[in-house]
Structure 1
Amino acid sequence: MAPAQQRLTTHSRLIVVIFFLMCGGFVLTSLSTYYVSRAEIRDAIINTELPLTADNIYSEIQKDLVRPTLIASMMARDTFLRDWVLVGERNTPQMTHYLNEIRNHYGATSSFFVSDRTHAYYSTRGILRKVNDQDPRDAWYARVRSMKETHEINVDSDEPPPGAMSITINHRVLDYNGNFIGVTGVSLSADTVTRLVDEYQKRYGRNILLTDAEGKIILRGKAPRNAGGQSAPASDIFKTPGLRDIAPAILKASSASFEYTNDGERHFINVRALPELKWFLIVDKPAHQAYSAVQRSLLINLLLCLTTTMIVLGIVHLALLRHQQQLEVIATTDRLTGLANRRALDVLLKQKIHEASRQKTPLTAILIDIDHFRTINDTRGQLAGDRILSEIAQTLRNNLRASDVACRWGGEEFLISLADTDLEAATQVACTLREKIENSLYFFENEALRVSVSAGVSLFRTGETVDDFVARAEAMLQRAKEEGRNRVCREPIESN
């Protein structure tokens, strides 16, 4: 493998190693931060966020739903209502007016009283009907009459219009001696409560369900997604994907947090029992909502890491290229003269020979030697000799084309290759250089020095090696020295 290719391979390997080290470090750091953040977010959701949300919603539900229970309790203890029943229910408009006042003052959907003596169902519009124990619609009345609790909260369609769902607080009414005399209460439209739940969902950004003690879903908000991740809501949590597996545990909990997976998505839920209503509040938060911000941060961090890595690699690449170029210059340049050294010329000459052979153009070489250079070193010192070498190199640079290559071949020898130049033209170049050097003054320590040079010129022959090509130029240089120096000798021009 060529040295340049070997250096390039080493360079590339170093860049690749740095790339993987930096990317690996950045990715590991980002991923560790991401998973630590996920764990912290999960703990915050389970232990703080969802419980606080459930508490806030519970407070809202208490305020908005327990209030009708207190109204029904107040009605059951109202002396007017009890006295009106005990005196024989003689004035129906009085009861109708009373119920209208309750409904309007407290903002209920409706208010009612059912007499146990007459079974009359009194509403804000008068007597609606007679309650019949045999009518399935009136099963609630028999249940309330026989129960031990003071009241119940019932979701049914007892109240007109037929089929309209309402949440009704049914409260037992006792006379002054503790005897059962009827049932009173107020109703809220289920749509009203649903709007409340939907408002909570929008306010707190969670999915909310209200279930009874059997797991039947009583109310849910109108958010796009429900607590099971279903587009078609199920009727109870035992039929809701994801929730069905933990439904028994939900209905046993007074306050607890759970996790489940549905359609590949993780959910966090908090369950809160509502003892006043005998319901369960379920607050659900999909994991993607919780993790979306930290996932965006991860992507941004990875992008920044990649950008930083590419910038650093670019800087390292440029630094390595510059360092490599400096090394190549040092390795291929003569430090004293600034010309190419012999090592560089070996490579350059091979390139010139290849180009000349491919293009079928002439290639010539000039080998120049400074006459009596050793004498200059012995009499004036090596520094004087270095000055002359440097000045002659500058003369060569000033009088050669950009396509020509000059190098320091030996101690006081210079080799020049001339592309697309025949033997006669090359000889003329050599003579010009000899004359300029001879006519130049080289100053050293205020002393003007003159030197002369001898030169040999050869023409490249197809198929020969670099050594053969240069050897013939050396032979011509030796001939010039033997003929008295300060002259140019060339090969004979071969006739075609």
Structure 2
Amino acid sequence: MISAVGQQLHYPTDQDTMKPITLRKPSFILISSLLLSIAFATISFISYFVANNSLNQHIKTNTLPLTSDTVYSEVQRDLLQPVLVSSLMAQDTFVHDWIENGEHYPEQMQRYLKSIQTRYNAFTAFFVSEQTTNYYHSSGIIKQVSASDPADDWYFTSRKTPAQFDINLDQDTADGFTTTLFVNHKVNDAQGRFLGIIGVGLASQKIRELIEVYQNRYGRQIYFIDRQGKVTLQGSQFKGADDIHNLSGLGDIAPLILSSPGGSYSYSHNDQQYLIKTRFVPELDWYLIVEHTEHSSSQITATLWINLLISLVVIVVVLLLQHFTLGGYQRRLEVMANTDPLTGTASRHAFELVYQQILRLADRHRHPVSTILVDIDHFKLFNDTYGHLLGDKILNQVARILTDSLRKADTLCRWGGDEFFIILPNCSQKNACAVAEKMRMQIETALTTLEGIELKVTASFGVAEYISHESPATLFKRTDQALYRAKSRSRNQVEASSPEVSESI
């Protein structure tokens, strides 16, 4: 059974919450804290008395370049999502159709940009039309761009670049106060005609927070400079000048840094030696600077091996503790979060992301997807007449029958008290109706006796096929309406959704 845990989408509109489960492990925390404290105290004590030049040389030739490469890769990775989002927006058929229809309904574009901004947690989302020069934002039409307005230079610069997208740091037009990292992507029609620029923006504060994460992770000072040597982004505890030309020692090698795509350098400032690794980031048109403070050292390489040995022992011990304590605990938590405890089917929390992902794949690959909503007829009557224990056993038996009728690719979820929701990828509505009819007959014929009690258990089924680009909520609503018709028509039957359903953006 497929399961997933991720962002929660709720269908219909009821608000579900999953409370975090917290277990206290005082003995484990105490042991871990003691071991880590002893290890780090030992390493610090040895390093205090026996620092070594070989370690600094190792940092200069190996660790520092590796850190620079890793940070560079992570910066590119963190920028990849907004670049991909902007690319998807530029190729979205809704955007192209809306432009070709004359941009008559600005509120449609406003809702679209708002949905992009919310879905991908972007600081802003925008579209500038080449035809009308309107600057569309999630809050409405902000302005009309003009070549005579210096604030709009970014648009005309991006329009002239041969690349399909570029990235720039600028004030947010809608906010006016927040410095934002914009990904500007060209929108071209099928004939290659330029239609405008669309994209998303990340608040520069988010980039600064990423820098803080990198610095804490690697123990280095990390910042960015532009082609003129001015510091553009840095962490909150940055120690340095606003322009590298103005810092003694570093200013002497500034021309070398700015004339090369990357390199390793050293300089002295206030009797302290610094090692730096530079790398040009073409996506930002900035230089990445990773700086390490060189400590006093002597030629005792044995210290390095002692440190490595102690660190290795601590890591092994911690990993073993995690494996035997937290490992099993984590697995139990995952099962609890992803599985309905009564029926063993996927929980609603785990199902929702799978539901969303399958619909996205259906849009991408254009294959049919159908859904089935199952409701046990008169289930409350069974509970009231025979008690909840028998009702639970009926739920278990129905879940088993449904599961046995599904493929491995299908996903079954207990949606509510006596309702089950099924999504079937690569399955048309006609085939889904056949599957539902098979389930209906098996429930009717198999559940005639339970715990020595004669029963007449039946179920009603609603079936719907996904219509391209409709929302998950709309698909669920159509399936639920089909189920309602089945229940209205004497129950114990399968009803399919009408195909003439569409969803406006």
Tell me the TM-score normalized by structure 2: 0.47
User: Which has more radius of gyration?
Assistant: 1
Tell me the TM-score normalized by structure 1: 0.48
